[in-house]
Structure 1
């Protein structure tokens, strides 16, 4: 099969919000109907066999940031951003990115459990910061330790254990 010639292609896109805040953008490339009909008549229908009449491609975004072309690629990119935010101590924002990663990945993806645990660990760390800010240091330390134990990622565990 050949791609549709560019001069007869028309484009359309659909945005679909996914759980976790990620947006799936579907780009649809179709052959113009008039051109398709003319080409079909001129080639006695062979163009229908030779050319793709419709192609779809996907792009995933979170907060206008491009994440990738597959669910798992997008989930991995969201997770990487969450780790980056976590290293900066921005646990509330990191939690949102980890949630996006967990909600976006396919159910059989190898890192699904890591995404879920990281989301949960940052939820605990966020509540620990609230305790810390209110002067309840002992309870905050217990929560940070719990977050550290839950995180299988050494950089996150190190960050939580330093709090």
Structure 2
């Protein structure tokens, strides 16, 4: 049986950037080796189950899982347009540093820090000076070609 739209597919995966940097995995041993367990100490690393066709995972992952059989492994190369999209300058917002400092309860914004906008979007501060602070609200993996090693564990 091969996976098709509407099937629940359980799979293991390791997600890497084109340079081989591991950014996510379901395998604890891979997570430990890549230093991901330290960054996410409460995370349980276990196979993921998704229903194909419901948009639970990025488009390229759904397309790549479709047609695979139980026990099959594959390497999926997913371009940005089928992953997290292209990086977009329109998703970089500028704030008055003083106004942002007031919103942060008097704390000075710092480059690299994360913040949540009033609309719930998360961004990373990329620039701070006396006048202007910039925050990038693009998805962390926007603009990246992603490489996933997947293994289908179960199809139902």
TM-score norm. by structure 2 comes to 0.24
Bigger Rg over Cα: 1
Bigger share in strand = 2
TM-score norm. by structure 1 comes to 0.23
Structure number with the bigger relative contact order (C-alpha 8 A, sep ≥ 6) is 2
